[in-house]
Amino acid sequence: MAIARLLIGLLLFAAVVSFALFIATGQQRWRRLGLVIVKWTVLAGLGFFGVLILERLAILL
């Protein structure tokens, strides 16, 4: 749980850094990279919480 939380936090930090570089330099590649990182972070978070929900459902059944 702590590893997943740390990983998601680091990915979100990387996205913020990418957006800050986009603002500082104006290069579109930093914006695209930030959006890709955010997209995969959200998907990883949904997958992680989906596994937690399925785990709880398995205990109830």
Segment 2-28, tens digit of pLDDT? 898 899 999 999 999 999 999 999 999
List the domain range (segments joined by +) for residue 23.
Answer: 2-60
* Structural domain count, the chain: 1
**pLDDT-derived band at 61, boundaries 50, 70, 90:** confident
SS (H, E, C) the chain: CHHHHHHHHHHHHHHHHHHHHHHHHCCHHHHHHHHHHHHHHHHHHHHHHHHHHHHHHHHHC
Segment 36-46, tens digit of pLDDT? 999 999 999 99
**Residues 42-53, mean pLDDT to the nearest whole number:** 93
What pLDDT shows up at residue 43?
94
